[in-house]
């Protein structure tokens, strides 16, 4: 097992950060976590991040200088390739490629999710809710018997979708029930991910409170 020091530059409920945190926890890797205020980004962070976005992973090298990795899936792939613990991708090349494709789909799904959750007007909320529901219907078609995306083994696809599905535990249950109604496989998947130890530990205990505060500050309809 590598003993390289790893530091995750983070935010309390950013879904892209959560991907990396879940993978680190699944791998059983010791790491430090430093949260950044995205409203008032510190200069040291902007100096490290080429995009000004999270997450970042700093990797201590033998010469004492840190290598900086950015983009959540780049970080996750690096951890998969360099760390021990259970493998998060299948050995079969075709299955692995298929899962990577659904990870890309997950990133687009997250965009619809985030716009729905933060919608300030009914027209936008309705359009993005419909778009998100459509994406869930496609996932319902490809999910296996579960409890995870590819069956009994937790994998990289699960690490990607767990953060966005988590948000629906934090909003009005009636809204969540309406969106997920009639999607039994997605529903079971969501429940299994919510119970996964790495998914729980990827955020702080105050995640729900922070997220509700975020919705209120952005005057989202769901904050009402």
| Residue 139 counted as domain residue | yes
Q: Could you tell me which residues come within 8 angstroms of residue 208 by beta carbon, excluding any fewer than 6 positions away?
A: 169, 170
For residue 49, is it within any domain?
yes
Rounded mean pLDDT, 121-131: 97
Do 160 and 199 lie in a common domain? yes
What was the pLDDT predicted at 146? 84
Q: Please report the pLDDT score of residue 170 as a whole number.
A: 94
Q: Is the pLDDT of residue 21 over 90?
A: yes
Q: Report, as an integer, the average pLDDT of 1-15.
A: 83
Bridge partners (DSSP) listed for residue 35:
10
Residue 51, both tokens: 């995009």
Please report the pLDDT score of residue 61 as a whole number.
85
In the chain, the N- to C-terminal Cα span, in Å, equals 48
- Is the domain of 199 the same as that of 111? yes
- What is the per-residue pLDDT for 64? 76
Model pLDDT for residues 208-221, shown as the tens digit of each residue: 899 999 999 999 99
Same domain as 102, residue 57: no
CA torsion 40-44-50-52 (nearest 10°) is -10
- In this prediction, residue 221 carries a pLDDT of 96
What pLDDT, in 10s, does the model give residues 48-79? 999 999 999 999 988 878 999 999 999 999 99
Task: Give the total number of structural domains in the chain.
Answer: 2
Predicted pLDDT at 144: 81
The answer to whether residues 139 and 38 belong to one domain is: no
Give the tens place of pLDDT for each residue, 197-211: 999 999 988 998 999
Mean pLDDT of the chain, nearest integer: 94
Q: Is residue 1 part of a domain?
A: no
Residue span of the structural domain in which 61 resides: 6-82
Distance between CA atoms of 45 and 9, rounded to whole angstroms? Answer: 8
User: What is the Cα 15 distance to its own chain's centre?
Assistant: 4
State yes or no: cis peptide before 200, omega within 30 of 0. Answer: no
Of the three residues 15, 48, 82, the one that is the final residue of a domain is: 82
181 contact partners, CB below 8 Å, separation of at least 6: none
Catalytic residues: 14
Q: Is the pLDDT of residue 224 over 80?
A: no
Q: What is the CATH number of the domain that holds 54?
A: 3.40.30.10
Largest CA distance in the chain: 55
Query: Does 195 lie in the same domain as 156?
Result: yes
Q: Quick one: what percent of the chain has pLDDT higher than 90?
A: 89
Binned at pLDDT 50, 70 and 90, residue 3 comes out as low
Alpha carbons 158 and 163: distance in angstroms, whole number: 9
Pairwise pLDDT comparison (4 vs 40), residue with the higher score: 40
The residue to which tokens 């969501």 are assigned: 190
pLDDT at residue 1, as a whole number: 42
In this prediction, residue 52 carries a pLDDT of 94
The whole model's pTM is what? 0.95
Determine, yes or no, domain membership for 110: yes
Q: Are residues 76 and 103 in the same domain?
A: no
Q: Do residues 132 and 24 both lie within one domain?
A: no
Answer yes or no: do 74 and 98 share one domain: no
Mean pLDDT over 127-152 rounds to: 95
């Amino acid at each position: 097992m590598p003993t390289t020091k790893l530091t995750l530059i983070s935010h309390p409920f950013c879904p892209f950060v959560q991907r990396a945190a879940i993978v680190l926890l699944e791998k059983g890797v010791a790491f430090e976590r430093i949260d950044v205020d995205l409203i008032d980004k510190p200069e040291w962070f902007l100096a490290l991040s080429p995009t000004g976005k999270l997450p970042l992973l700093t990797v201590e090298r033998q010469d004492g200088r840190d290598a900086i990795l950015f983009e959540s899936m780049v970080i996750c792939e690096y951890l998969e390739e360099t760390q021990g613990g259970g493998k998060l991708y299948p050995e079969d090349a075709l299955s692995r490629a298929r899962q990577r494709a659904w990870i890309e789909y997950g990133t687009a799904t997250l965009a619809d999710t985030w716009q729905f959750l933060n919608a300030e007007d009914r027209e936008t909320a309705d359009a993005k809710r419909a778009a998100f529901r459509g994406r869930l219907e496609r996932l319902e078609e490809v999910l296996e018997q579960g409890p995870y995306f590819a069956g009994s083994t937790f994998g990289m696809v699960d690490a990607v979708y767990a953060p966005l599905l988590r948000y629906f535990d934090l909003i009005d249950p009636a809204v969540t029930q309406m969106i997920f109604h009639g999607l039994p496989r997605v529903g079971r998947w969501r429940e299994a991910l919510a119970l996964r130890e790495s998914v729980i530990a990827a955020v702080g205990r105050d995640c729900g409170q922070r997220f509700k505060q975020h919705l209120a500050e952005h005057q989202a309809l769901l904050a009402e």
